[in-house]
């Protein structure tokens, strides 16, 4: 298999939740999650992303979560925290902190709400790369940011040495194929249900939500694909599909995920406003999905 820029982030990265208790970050529970993923063989952790409720964490909490995950990881697993912002200055500040804390890279979401032009996107990410030489994984998710980073802009950014990968969450095979045809940046699926389809056209792994629950199964899918075991990879894709769909469609991520982790006894299930817990019908649907997958009786 050919090598691509950013191969260090190939495999399964899990966008981990931020455990909460009484509306405060539960750092003891967070450290247990890190140990769980190390035991499960997860390749990399991405704290304080969308799944980690970064929009409602204070700047101080954001930094403390990064520091706690890096400290608990202790070099046993890679850590690529979300340090993006729609303010270039803030993204630079957070990225510098992540580097000082010992992170292995940074996940940089496209600026949200202010909808920059393509030139604005380029200058934003280029400024972060210039200010801090930490490896950067771009995160393109138009459904959250309201604007797409085009393949041409991603290819232009890939010419910057420290911009090594892109978390591709447009849901478009054409977009991912276009990126792959223009440059050698590592493509990572940003949608669990798209992991195998994207790997079939050259992606090298996934930044996963469902991996919070079944990281070993995601690892098995990626390993089967990489070993050329197509039937096995397809079987894992089909098994994971309904779990992925329900955990990402019943309500906004991470609401269903935290409900699932509560039902499995792995988290309090608490969220921070404006996110609120599922109603009884929604929780029942998640419970049914977990039972169908074999995770609950």
Read off the pLDDT of residues 96-111 as tens digits, 9 standing for 90 and up: 999 999 999 999 999 9
% of the chain exceeding 70 in pLDDT:
98
pLDDT band at 15 (very low <50, low <70, confident <90, very high): very high
CA trace torsion 105, 147, 172, 8 (10° rounding): -10
Model pLDDT, residue 4: 66
Q: Which residues pair with 185 in a beta bridge?
A: 5
pLDDT band at 297 (very low <50, low <70, confident <90, very high): confident
> What b/e sequence results for 38-62 when a residue is b if at least 16 CB atoms lie within 10 Å of its CB, and e otherwise?
eebebbbbbbbbbbbbbeebeeebb
Q: Where are the domains of the chain?
A: 7-229
Model pLDDT, residue 256: 97
Query: Please, are residues 224 and 233 in contact by the beta-carbon 8 Å criterion?
Result: yes
3-state secondary structure of 23: coil
d(CA 107, CA 166): 9
Query: pLDDT at residue 2 above 50?
Result: no
DSSP 189-244: ESSGGGHHHHHTTT--EEEESGGGT-HHHHHHHHHHHHTT-HHHHHHHHHHHHHHH
| Assigned CATH class of 7-229 | alpha beta
Query: pLDDT at residue 40 above 50?
Result: yes
pLDDT band at 238 (very low <50, low <70, confident <90, very high): very high
d(CA 10, CA 247): 23
pLDDT band at 246 (very low <50, low <70, confident <90, very high): confident
Mean pLDDT over residues 131-137, rounded?
A: 97
Model pLDDT, residue 1: 36
pLDDT digits (tens, 9 = 90+) for 107-130: 999 999 999 999 999 999 999 999
CA trace torsion 111, 112, 114, 118 (10° rounding): 50
Positions annotated as catalytic residues are 139, 167
pLDDT digits (tens, 9 = 90+) for 204-236: 999 999 999 999 999 999 999 999 999 999 999
Mean pLDDT over residues 147-157, rounded?
A: 98
Please tell me what DSSP assigns to residue 46. -
Number of neighbours of residue 273 by Cβ within 10 angstroms? 7
Show Cβ contacts of residue 143 under 8 Å, excluding neighbours closer than 6 positions.
169
């Amino acid at each position: 298999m050919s090598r691509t820029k950013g191969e260090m982030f190939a495999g399964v990265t899990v966008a981990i939740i931020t455990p909460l208790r009484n509306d405060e970050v539960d750092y003891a529970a967070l450290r247990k999650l890190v140990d769980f993923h190390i035991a499960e063989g997860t390749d990399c952790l991405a704290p304080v992303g969308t799944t980690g409720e970064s929009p409602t964490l204070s700047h101080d909490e954001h930094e403390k979560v990064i520091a706690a995950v890096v400290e608990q990881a202790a070099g046993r697993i890679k850590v690529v925290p979300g340090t993006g912002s729609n303010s270039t200055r803030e993204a630079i500040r957070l990225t510098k902190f992540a580097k000082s804390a010992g992170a292995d890279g940074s996940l940089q979401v496209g600026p949200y709400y202010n909808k920059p032009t393509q030139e604005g996107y380029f200058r934003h990410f280029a400024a972060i790369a210039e200010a801090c030489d930490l490896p950067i994984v771009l995160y393109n998710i138009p459904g959250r940011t309201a604007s797409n980073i085009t393949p041409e802009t991603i290819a232009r950014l890939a010419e910057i040495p420290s911009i090594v990968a892109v978390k591709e969450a447009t849901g478009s095979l054409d977009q991912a194929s276009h990126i792959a045809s223009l440059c050698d940046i590592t493509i990572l699926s940003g949608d669990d249900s798209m992991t195998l389809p994207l790997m079939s056209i050259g992606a090298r792994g996934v930044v996963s939500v469902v991996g919070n629950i079944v990281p070993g199964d995601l690892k098995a899918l990626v390993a089967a694909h990489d070993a050329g075991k197509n039937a096995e990879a397809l079987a894992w894709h089909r098994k994971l599909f309904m779990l992925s769909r329900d955990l990402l469609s019943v309500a906004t991520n991470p609401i269903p995920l935290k409900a699932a982790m509560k039902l499995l006894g792995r988290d309090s299930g608490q969220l921070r406003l404006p996110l609120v817990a599922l109603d009884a019908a929604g929780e029942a649907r998640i419970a049914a999905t977990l039972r169908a997958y074999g995770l609950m009786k």
